[in-house]
Amino acid sequence: MIKKVLHKTFSVALSLFLLFSTVSFTIEKHFCGDVLVDVSVFSETQKCAAEACKNEMTKITKTHCCKDAVDLVKGQSELTIKKIEDLELKQQLFLTTFTYTYLNLFEELSLCVIPHKYYSPPNLIADLQLRNQVFLI
């Protein structure tokens, strides 16, 4: 039971790790002067009001105070698959012994012997504490 749950947990974790290591995305930043106005990951950044005014008055204003910065986070594009035969002999030996000892750490509870499983307590005929007037204080 525990081995199945651990196996499924590790396989989901490794598949998510593989997915996130291969995903590429861009981060767009919009600065107005030296002030960061907007940051966007999956959509375009919103422009500030100075750019809207600049489009109307292109003849009057020649200075451009706004700038955009684009950071590209590139994921891994080529994946290599290694087999256990590609490892050195010492690494193979360590990996197999570690896996064997780790998996044998967990014992099934059904295999354990419970000594008091079929024990039934004796029937009480009389309450001895009440009969002998002995009480714990």
pLDDT digit string, tens, across residues 74-83: 888 777 788 8
Query: Given this model, what pLDDT does residue 1 score?
Result: 85
Question: What is the average per-residue pLDDT within 62-85?
Answer: 80
CA 41/CA 31 separation, integer angstroms: 15
Q: Extract the tokens encoding 54.
A: 């600049």
Query: Given this model, what pLDDT does residue 14 score?
Result: 93
Task: Pick 94 or 107 by higher pLDDT.
Answer: 94
Predicted confidence (pLDDT) at residue 6 exceeds the cutoff of 80: yes
Whether the full predicted model's pTM is greater than 0.75, yes or no, is no
Predicted confidence (pLDDT) at residue 52 exceeds the cutoff of 60: no
pLDDT band, very low/low/confident/very high, at 55 (cuts 50, 70, 90): low
Task: Pick 15 or 82 by higher pLDDT.
Answer: 15
Percent of the chain with pLDDT over 70: 85
List helix spans (H) across the chain: 2-22, 49-56, 89-103, 128-132
Confirm if 37 and 30 have CB atoms less than 8 A apart: yes
Q: Which residues neighbour 129 within 8 Å (Cβ) at sequence distance 6 or greater?
A: 135
CA 62 to chain centre: 50
Query: Given this model, what pLDDT does residue 94 score?
Result: 94
Q: Extract the tokens encoding 129.
A: 């504490």
